[in-house]
């Protein structure tokens, strides 16, 4: 029973899930791969609901030690310009850079120039949650089995602009639909490591960005698969749900708003140089939706924060996904709320499967002893896709859109109201 820490798991999927060819010549499908990858969800019974699970994250800060080397990328988009930081998982080192987070140091120009490889190791490209970075505990738990002790994976984390002690070098910040940096890194990785199968992993806001990216790329996506964890999907619904409750508004909205204020404040000089944002007004704000109203609307030209939420939501993008896509969510998640999960869209698309657990909180899933359950389905799914599935046999369909109605309308699931001009 849930109150003893045993969470039930439920799978939402298309009536006919994506067929997959195994390396041994037999066949399976995406649903079966996801089910096989998902172990029983036995959580710490003392952390008995989504609020306690989520809040325990702030208490339990330690986690696996992951070492990184950082490289600053110059954005290749004419409008979405500036720089962003990518942290690559590397072998343990003793280099210390006080300007960066623990266990992180910069590549030298010489060492990065020789990073290209013809090897066939699988590579994971990761997006973190709101105001986070490569240092996040939930992220390190998830990738540690893949990148240490002979796990065989290469990995990198694309840090959102200004996050993880990275610099802000233009007036363009990240937002929930800012897919440009992940797109550039995937293209770079495909060119630099031409034989590596590439996969994506996103958490919370990063999962929303990753889902938008995969949907926008459609049949042209260079990733072989993607995992979304704790994705809010419908940002307007999630925002309204948070504001409905005292805990949602005065705890979660307040904490996330404070984190974003602190992030902006840490880049005061750059913000004043590159933007027209009112820093004094921003520092007087309390809640995340107020921050989005004052920052996202001013930066991007949205008339309201709710217009931004609707435009940036990834729920519609689910319909355009054409690679194997595994979403993991907790039904008691107080931030990425259950009512925002795109059950109907998942059922329309054979390339997608959603696994929900009845407990787990937001990016928490604490087990007895402090381990994190979500690391296991993530690693199991990725390893099964690489070791058991013939990835070259997966052929994206080009006719997978929602069928036209009697009115012969054509629904475009990745249409955006905000247009980013190339010239």
| pLDDT, tens digit, 9 for 90 and up, residues 163-180 | 999 999 999 888 898 999
Once rounded to an integer, what is the mean pLDDT over residues 304-330? 97
Which residues in 375-402 are b (16+ Cβ under 10 Å) and which e? bbbbbbbbbbbbeebebeebeeeeebbe
Taking the C-alpha atoms of residue 356 and residue 353, their distance in angstroms, rounded to an integer, is 10
- The residues pairing with 269 across neighbouring beta strands, listed in sequence order, are none
Average pLDDT over residues 12-39: 97
Burial of 301 (0-12, 13-18, 19+ CB in 10 A): exposed
Top-level class of domain 2-234+325-393:
alpha beta
Measured between alpha carbons, how far is 396 from 164 in angstroms, rounded to an integer? Answer: 35
- % of the chain exceeding 90 in pLDDT: 87
Q: What pLDDT sits at residue 174?
A: 81
Give the pLDDT of residue 59. Answer: 78
In this structure, what DSSP letter does residue 204 have? T
pLDDT at 399: 47
Task: Give the pLDDT confidence score for residue 421 in this predicted structure.
Answer: 66
Percentage of the chain beyond pLDDT 70 is 95
Q: Contact, 85 vs 169, CB < 8 A?
A: no
Distance CA 421, CA 162 (A): 23
- Range 51-71 average pLDDT: 90
Six token digits for residue 331:
């039904």
Degrees to nearest 5, angle at CA 68 with 62 and 73: 130
- For 209-261, the pLDDT digits (tens) are 999 999 999 999 999 999 999 999 999 999 999 999 999 999 999 999 999 99
In this prediction, residue 328 has a pLDDT band, given cuts at 50, 70 and 90, of very high
Two structure tokens written together for 49: 């609901």
Radius of gyration of the chain (CA): 21
Q: Quote the Cα angle for 224-230-235, to 5°.
A: 105
Which residue in this structure is represented by tokens 């996330």?
256
**Six-digit token string for 209:** 């960005």
pLDDT of residue 187: 98
Q: What is the pLDDT of residue 337?
A: 98
Mean pLDDT of 98-117: 96
Cα–Cα distance, 178 to 186 (Å, whole number): 14
Is the pLDDT at 398 greater than 60, yes or no? no
Using a 10 angstrom Cβ sphere, with 0-12 exposed, 13-18 middle and 19 or more buried, the burial of residue 101 is middle
**Chain-wide mean pLDDT for the chain?**
94
Please list the active-site residues: 204, 333, 362
| Cα distance between residue 228 and residue 18, in whole Å | 17
Six-digit token pair at 371?
């381990």
Tell me if residue 10 falls in helix, strand or coil: strand
- In eight-state DSSP terms, residue 251 is I
Matching residue, tokens 């800060």: 61
Give me the residue spans of the domains in the chain.
2-234+325-393, 235-312
Confidence of residue 60 (pLDDT cuts 50, 70, 90): low
- The residue-averaged pLDDT of 15-38 equals 97
Q: Which of 88-92, 101-105, 252-256, 401-405 has the lowest mean pLDDT?
A: 401-405
């Amino acid at each position: 029973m849930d109150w003893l820490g045993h969470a039930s798991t439920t799978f939402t999927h298309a009536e006919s899930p994506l067929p997959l060819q195994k390396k041994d010549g037999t066949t399976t499908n995406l649903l079966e791969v996801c089910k096989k990858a998902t172990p029983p969800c036995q959580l710490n019974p003392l952390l008995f609901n989504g609020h306690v699970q989520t809040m325990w994250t702030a208490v339990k800060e330690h986690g696996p030690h992951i070492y990184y080397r950082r490289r600053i990328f110059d954005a290749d988009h004419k409008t979405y310009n500036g720089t962003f930081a990518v942290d690559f998982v590397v072998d343990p080192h003793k280099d210390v850079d006080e300007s960066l987070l623990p266990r992180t140091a910069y590549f030298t120009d010489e060492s990065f120039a020789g990073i290209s490889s013809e090897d066939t190791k699988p590579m994971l490209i990761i997006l973190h949650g709101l105001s986070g970075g490569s240092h996040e505990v939930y992220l390190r738990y998830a990738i540690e089995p893949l990148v240490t002790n002979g796990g065989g994976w290469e990995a990198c984390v694309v840090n959102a602009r200004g996050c993880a002690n990275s610099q802000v070098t233009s007036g363009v910040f990240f937002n929930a639909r800012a897919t440009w940096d992940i797109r550039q890194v995937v293209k770079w990785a495909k060119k630099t490591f031409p034989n590596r199968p590439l996969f994506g992993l996103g958490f919370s806001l990063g999962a929303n960005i990753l889902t938008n990216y995969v949907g926008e790329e459609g049949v042209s996506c260079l990733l072989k698969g993607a995992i979304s964890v704790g994705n809010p999907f419908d940002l307007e619904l999630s925002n309204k749900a948070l504001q409905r409750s005292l805990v949602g508004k005065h705890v979660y909205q307040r904490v996330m708003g404070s984190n974003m204020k602190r992030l902006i404040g840490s880049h005061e000089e750059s913000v004043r140089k590159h933007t027209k944002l009112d820093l004094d007004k921003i520092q007087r704000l309390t809640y995340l939706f107020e921050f989005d109203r004052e920052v996202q609307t001013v930066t991007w030209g949205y008339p309201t924060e709710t217009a931004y939420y609707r435009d940036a939501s990834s729920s519609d993008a689910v319909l355009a996904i054409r690679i194997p896509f595994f979403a993991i969510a907790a039904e008691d998640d107080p931030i990425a709320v259950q009512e925002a999960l795109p059950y109907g869209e998942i059922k329309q698309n054979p390339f997608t499967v959603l696994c929900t657990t009845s407990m787990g909180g937001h990016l928490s899933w604490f087990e007895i002893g402090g381990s994190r359950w979500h690391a296991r389905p993530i690693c199991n799914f990725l390893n099964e896709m690489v070791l058991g599935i013939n990835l070259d046999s997966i052929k994206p369909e080009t006719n997978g859109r929602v069928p036209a109605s009697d009115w012969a309308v054509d629904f475009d699931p990745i249409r955006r109201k905000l247009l980013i001009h190339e010239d």
